[in-house]
Amino acid sequence: MKAFLCHSSSDKEYVRTIARRLTRARVVFDEMHFLPGEDFRNAIARGLDASSLFVFVVSRDALKSVWCQHEIDEAQQRHIKQTLSGALVIIIDPTISYSELPPWLAKGKAILQPRPVLAAREVQTALLSTFAPELKNPFVGRESALEAFAATLLKGPEGASSRIFSIHGLDGIGRRTFLARGLQDNLSLRLGPTIVLDATRALDDLYLWTLDETADLGSRSNVATEIARFGHLNKDDQVAELAARLKTISDSGFVPCLIDEGGVLSEEGRYQDQYIDLMAKLMSQDDAHIAFLHRRRPDVSDLTTRFAVSDLSLRPLRRDSARR
């Protein structure tokens, strides 16, 4: 299952970032897959035949490109024959309207996403949706837990849904899978990306992760410069910077997920101050979300009314459900 990346050569760096994120196992990208000296038409046909998803990265140059038009025509033929399962349009120039898209692509999903890192996540999600039903992970035995999760969502002011999610339970029982399903079914949100936070992790580690997910810094020196700049900020400004990065992830319909391995809760089971401050900052912004996964039950008694935290205890599957 691969995504064919159709693009103009002038947008190569943008598409290169997507390809690096998804790796050659999940994309067909000319720099990775076209053989030296091979006729481009043969290479395009071979790449499309190996793909289940056609991705058109749209810029002004891409709309004018003869090779992009050739790839679009070839993809349309395979789409009609149903050998290509789906298509995704990623518009990177906000001045382009949907009416300028090729007609058959304009009928499908099209998104405006100038950030290639976030575009990579959209491609991955779209690629997974092309899997045949028999290849998708089954989801059984959690019906009552899903109902309970749905009931916890309506804790926000005036009946609004919660925007902070906290799931706790033992390792290996499917906390992440459960939360991903609950968010998708109830709020049409997707879970991810994720970071594991143990006792050695600090705010600068969390910031580096958000940078990796939202920015394209390139060289190590640029990363070092950003981390040094972050380190010189006061705590309030650090929290504000983190919240802004997490909001960027949320804006694309994803819920960043922090997996607690000893770095989030205090010994008493309460959220540490920096994470409470981070929640407060996030909740001051519209449509921002965050999720926490814990092994032990967090004490959210002082947070539930303040932030409308949706919390749930997930237990191991019963034997009959596990057998199913």
| CA end-to-end span of the chain | 28
Average pLDDT over residues 193-219: 85
Buried b (16+ CB within 10 A) or exposed e, 196-234: ebeeebebeebbbbbbebbbeeeeeeeeeebeeebeeee
* Predicted confidence (pLDDT) at residue 136 exceeds the cutoff of 60: no
Q: What architecture is the 143-323 domain classified under in CATH?
A: 3-Layer(aba) Sandwich (3.40)
- Residue 137's pLDDT is what? 60
* Tens-place pLDDT, residues 44-74: 999 999 999 999 999 999 999 999 999 999 9
- Residue 41's pLDDT is what? 93
Q: Is this model's pTM higher than 0.85 or not?
A: no
What is the C-alpha separation between 296 and 274, in angstroms, rounded?
Answer: 19
**Domain edges within the chain:** 3-135, 143-323
- Check: CB of residue 288 under 8 Å from CB of residue 279: no
* Predicted confidence (pLDDT) at residue 134 exceeds the cutoff of 80: no
What is the C-alpha separation between 319 and 323, in angstroms, rounded?
Answer: 6
**DSSP letter string, 255-275:** EEEEEEEBSSB-TTSBBPHHH
* Tens-place pLDDT, residues 170-195: 999 999 999 999 998 888 888 989 99
The helix (H) or strand (E) run that includes residue 58 is strand 53-58
Average pLDDT over residues 94-121: 90
Average pLDDT over residues 238-259: 93
Alpha helix (H) residue ranges in 139-272: 143-152, 175-187, 203-214, 220-231, 235-250
Task: Give whole-number Cα distances, 122 to 113, 117, 215, 305, in Å.
Answer: 9, 9, 15, 33
- Residue 153's pLDDT is what? 85
CATH C-level class of 3-135: alpha beta
- Residue 35's pLDDT is what? 82
- Residue 224's pLDDT is what? 82
Q: Of residues 64 and 211, which shows the higher confidence score? A: 64
- Is there a common fold for 3-135 and 143-323? yes
Query: Which one, of 81, 88, 111, lies nearest residue 27 by Cα?
Result: 88
- Residue 156's pLDDT is what? 59
